[in-house]
Amino acid sequence: MLVNLNDVLLPAAEKGYGVGLFNTVNFEMARGVLQAAQELRAPVIIGTAEILLPYGPLEELSDMILPMAKKADVPVVVHYDHGLTFEKCVEALKLGFSSIMYDCSTDSYEENIRKVKEITKLAHLFGATVEAELGHVGDNEGVSALERPEDYYTDPDMAKDFTDHTGVDALAIAVGTAHGLYKFKPKLDFERITKIKNAIGIPLVLHGGSGLSGTDFQTAIAHGISKINIFTDINIAAASAAAKALADGKTAMTDIIPYQVEAVAEATKAKMELFGCVGRG
């Protein structure tokens, strides 16, 4: 069934488990993610990000994912991740996404508040939820170039002020992860997660989760993270499955598709088991 972030994250925050957002760009990836959720009876967040739209346009993806989400017998949030413009976020809402992230984390603090407050008011009229980002997660290229990455970490008092002023439903925080594949071992500031969790009353989101160790995930969840974003891991699983199919002598698309769906489902299930959301759907 199609639900919004509050439906899956409020119980997760209360009971201390995590729910994954798995970004997808095509039918095989979406099928793999939803197959995993249904097999494990786990709540799931599925969607795409603005930066991924060249690989799967918003309207085509929503036409495909929304009916699949509605038909599923576990809670499914269809989320638009890292919306960068107001217009694209509104388009996602009109298409029926039940949740959006409006990422204004590179704007000034005041501008971030102003823009997120505006989209939150609108999204709530659609019955949709909003995630924002405070502090900046950034990518691996950027983070490795920073002299003091902790300058970009989320401040707990600011997080309280931000959520009070915007009315946002979930907050992505910067605590030491980066987007994409890691060039060095990430070091997470777990105490900061707890401080932010104690300061604000809404679920916390960890971006840049692909490549963290199982222990990192579980420790982050134990300290108060409720939503974890995954893309790189399932993106690589799908591509490796195609390579394996070819190595196995399969040459047709119809032979390769089942390999990809299965590989994405397996990679998704492994994450769900780590996050502790199995049987919660």
Count of positions on this chain that bind Zn ion (CB under 5 A): 1
Instruction: Tell me which DSSP letter residue 205 carries.
Output: E
| Distance separating alpha carbons of residues 253 and 100, to the nearest angstrom | 33
CB contact at 8 A, 154 and 173: yes
Q: Does 169 participate in catalysis according to the annotation?
A: no
CB of 103 to Zn ion, least distance (A): 7
Closest separation between CB of residue 268 and Zn ion, Å?
Answer: 17
Which one-letter DSSP state was computed for residue 261?
H
Does 227 sit near Zn ion (CB under 5 A)? no
Q: How far lies 145's CA from each of 52, 174, 275, in Å?
A: 24, 16, 31
Alpha carbons 215 and 147: distance in angstroms, whole number? 27
Decide whether 192 or 207 has the Cβ nearer to Zn ion.
Answer: 207
The three-state secondary structure class of 154 is coil
Find the residue with minimal CB distance to Zn ion.
207
* CB-nearer residue toward Zn ion: 79 or 207: 207
User: In the bound complex, what is the minimum distance in angstroms from residue 236's beta carbon to Zn ion?
Assistant: 17
CB 100, CB 130: distance < 8 Å = yes
Instruction: Please pick, among 63, 73, 81, 164, the residue that the annotation labels catalytic.
Output: 81
In the complex with Zn ion, which residue's Cβ is closer, 40 or 204? Answer: 204
Residues 204-223, one symbol each (x = binds Zn ion by CB under 5 A, - = not), give ---x----------------
Residues lying near Zn ion in the complex (CB under 5 A)? 207
Residues acting as catalytic residues: 81
